[in-house]
Structure 1
Amino acid sequence: MSADAFPPRTISLEDASRILDRLVDQVSSVFRGKEQVVRWTVASAVGRGHVLLEDVPGVGKTTLALALARSLGLSFQRVQFTSDLLPGDIVGVSMYSQKQESFTFRPGPIFAGLVLADEINRTTPRTQSALLEAMSEGRVSVDEGTYELPKPFLVLATQNPLDHHGTYPLPESQLDRFMVRLSIGYPTREVEREIVMSRGLEEPVEHLAPVCAADELRAIQALAAQVRVDESLVDYVLAVAAATRSHDQVRVGVSTRGVLAMMRAVRALALMEGRTFAVPDDARELFVPTLAHRLSLVSGGQDRGRSEALIAAIVAEVPAPV
């Protein structure tokens, strides 16, 4: 049964803030030393967005995804993207049943509450498009049938920024589908020592229990959409977006879709802070992770370091509302 078939649940601001605090704390208890990454990932989930994790292997991307899925009580699927992966391997296929003398749809792994799309840049553009279209539309079409994805639905995609052999870089139009792009980085020595000393034969993520049910997350998402954003804050975000479009180092600036994603993230972060209204600090915290990956530079196309530095420089020049 579709989530839309159930009557909407309401939730108070206090309960939503309490649940989100517990969610961040629990995920951070196994994904240590990276609370900022956890906050932005949770904000993306609350804002109905998807996350691109761009980092080297072995820094905890799978742990983050699995910990979030378990803490939210969502079904979880991990898909290893390879050059021979087909769209049907992700969305599913129609199979002919001789017994029923008809075609039956067999759902693919995308029909999970949280999908980890591992090394998304190692598969062909056709397969990438199948995933990203489903992310955007919230449904998949196979043959003559249309099938709704679960609600809530979150994709965490990963790619290694250092290994380009045999990869298919995501074009700007597909990068635009992700609410945030995050880099995890290596833990500090102290945190890494704690991780090494505390890990036994079992992964701590296996013992996590849900702190938020699916209907509670849907209610929190609905509450976040009602967070008030003053016109001056909207103008502030629009001014930053406009500055990217006229910058002499930028070939393609932030799109209107990017602005809308930014505003959803801002509302989500405000709710996480226990407020019914957004403030300029919410936007300042999110400008780089939400907008930098949407830029295509005049020379070099996608360059994470330069794009993030450019967004930071623009934000420093655009006056913030008082």
Structure 2
Amino acid sequence: METSNHTVTEFILLGFSTDPVTQRVLFVVFLAVYSVTVVGNITLMVLICSDSRLHTPMYFFIGNLSFLDLWYSSVYTPKILVICISEDRSISFAGCVAQFFFSAGLGYSECYLLAAMAYDRYVAISKPLLYAQAMSKRLYIRLVIYSFIGGVVNSIILTSNTFTLDFCGDNVIDDFFCDVPPLVKLACGVRETYQAVLFFLLASNVITPSVLILSSYLFIIAAVLRIRSTQGRLKAFSTCSSHLISVTLYYGSILYIYSHPGSSYSLGREKIVSTFYTVVFPMVNPMIYSLRNKDVKEALKKLLRLAKSEV
């Protein structure tokens, strides 16, 4: 990415606070959150890979979701920790581009992956007898690959368009990472074509997957209502509850932030919400899919017993 057309060669990330005491507290909090995120997601991936009972399409999707969450958090948190313990709040233009590109690619991939997981739950509940045939290994692997490819392609589009904006004024980002809203606020002028690109990406990466997920759950609800036994209905709903919680938290926060990326962006709630989906959500996801899942808990107990016996 050429930077010669830009007068800005670096950005200053304000983060959350300049108070030294608050900074140290935030460092401890973010370090704890990041540690739990890394341990939780790696543990979940290890369990899914090592336990044959978890070698199913649903857990394959969950394992890839943990992979995305691990790297998604790693794009942001190390820089946040540096800001908290250092007086250097600068990030180079190239560093900002790299952070922006990887965060967008991972985020968009997660949007597609959550939609694929909704389709998997629809097939499992609506067509249980044909599930193995309908959700073949070839299909669910392709869905994951397409999710990753879609994320990378859309990230290239967004990154190339964002960093051709003219940042000829203030270089202070009132946030803790390089993202669309604060960068648009720093641009000298936002072209209509860029606004069109943002709308296209929002529609293709957030709104369209949201509609697909909503449609899948409408079919799921219809299928569950046809189940006669109350126990059967509860069991069917329980298989979807974790995914539904995950989708609601993730899409809700993203839609809130990117529904007004221009001048309406401010410190307040937007910074809190962005902190949630970039730092907290990757930590919460493994808990959602493990604490509410009997198979995962049994796999964890088996792994702990194996580790204890070897010691």
Band the TM-score falls in, shorter-chain normalisation: under 0.3
TM-score, normalisation: structure 1: 0.25
- Larger proportion of strand: 1
| Structure exhibiting the larger radius of gyration computed from Cα positions | 2
